[in-house]
Amino acid sequence: MELVDDVRKGSVRALAKLITLVENEMPNALEAMENIYPYTGNAYIIGITGPPGAGKSTLTDKITQKLRSQNFTVGIVAIDPTSPFSGGALLGDRVRMQGISSDEGVFIRSMATRGSLGGLSRATGDTVKILDAFGKDYVIIETVGVGQDEVDIIKTADVSILVVMPGGGDDIQAIKAGIMEIGDIFVVNKSDRDGADRLVTEINMMLNLGATTRDWIPPVLKTIAPEEKGVDSLLEKISEHREFLVSSGRLSYQRKERIRNDIIKIVEYEIFRYLDRLIREDKELFEQRLEDIVSKKEDPYRISKKMIDAIGRRISDN
């Protein structure tokens, strides 16, 4: 595919186009990803999650600037952002990226919850792979940490950073609800506000209550993102964690698990696509079957079996 070649050659236009192709679930997206895949595996993937307004974008912005100053290239996937990126340098880079050809800099892509078939986590995963194959050294995924979709997304990262802020009172309850386990590094941002130290203590207590057998004890850091305070420490912890993943063999284990999930997601997606087509193409037959079920001539289980057989035939015909 020419588009994939152009992405590999560093065309930012092709990059944006390919992501759109995948995002819109175009029929040739799977083939494109097949061609992209051999070039993936070099980028380091950072997941940043946390409640709305915690400062995820501001932190992403500062982290990116630091990485850029070390000459690393960065791709950013922001999922459902309610607040935009504001950093001047970042914005400048983005404008530069729209220039002729540049294999350096920052590429930002915002994604919203859309796509009926494979869902957001598949589109995000593919986008990360495309940015990886494009040659980005780091890919940062920013997402509001709430539902299962977000947890799935964050699982595709090599390191997960959980950002919280003081105030509100029920912060800890919010974190408790399922995402405490996925944080490799905790960040108490907005630590210029009251209650930051207390929040750090509470998180540390909860981490201690949790798995004491963990070989990586998640550190809890304080930051003031707009002032860049604590951002250097955060980057150090990211490096430390990366060294831990590599030396313990966890990185390859995590990446293998990711492949396992990817395969399941791809197969689900493909089968669902066939099912969707089957229903749309044989609308009358489907309606008739519904009638038959209502009048008790048929049942949903037998009909499902028939449809699975039909999907199987279609797949083997292709």
Between 70 and 99, how does the x/- string for binding to ligand GTP read (CB under 6 A)?
Answer: -----------xxx----------------
| Closest residue by Cα to residue 155 from 118, 186, 116, 125 | 125
d(CA 318, CA 315): 5
Chain-centre distance for alpha carbon 126: 9
Rounded to a whole number of angstroms, the minimum distance from the CB of residue 14 to Mg ion is 27
Out of 47, 50, 81, 230, the residue judged to bind Mg ion by CB under 5 A? 81
- Is 231 a binder of ligand GTP (CB under 6 A)? no
- Cβ contacts of 99 within 8 Å, gap of 6 or more: none
Q: Is 143 in the site for ligand GTP (CB under 6 A)?
A: no
Measured between alpha carbons, how far is 279 from 292 in angstroms, rounded to an integer? Answer: 16
Instruction: Please state the φ and ψ torsions of residue 51, each to the nearest 5 degrees.
Output: -65, 160
Q: For residue 121, give the nearest of 225, 262, 245 by alpha carbon.
A: 262
Selection from ligand GTP, Mg ion, none that 92 binds (CB < 5 to 8 A by kind) is: none
Q: What does 144 bind: Mg ion, ligand GTP, none (CB cut-off 5 to 8 Å by kind)? A: ligand GTP
Give just the sign of the alpha carbon dihedral 128, 39, 259, 207: negative
Q: Does 65 bind ligand GTP (CB under 6 A)?
A: no
Handedness of CA 314, 276, 123, 178 (dihedral sign): negative
**Contact assessment for residue 184 and residue 159, using Cβ atoms and an 8 Å cutoff:** yes
- 87 sits near Mg ion (criterion: CB under 5 A): no
User: Which of 142/158 has CB closer to ligand GTP?
Assistant: 142
Choose from ligand GTP, Mg ion, none: what does 224 bind? Cβ within 5-8 Å by kind: ligand GTP
Pattern of binders to ligand GTP over 254-293, x per CB under 6 A? Answer: ----------------------------------------
Site string for ligand GTP, 180-199 (x = CB under 6 A): ---------xx-x-------
Residue 299 structure tokens:
């049942």
**Chain positions contacting Mg ion, by CB under 5 A:** 56-57, 81, 83
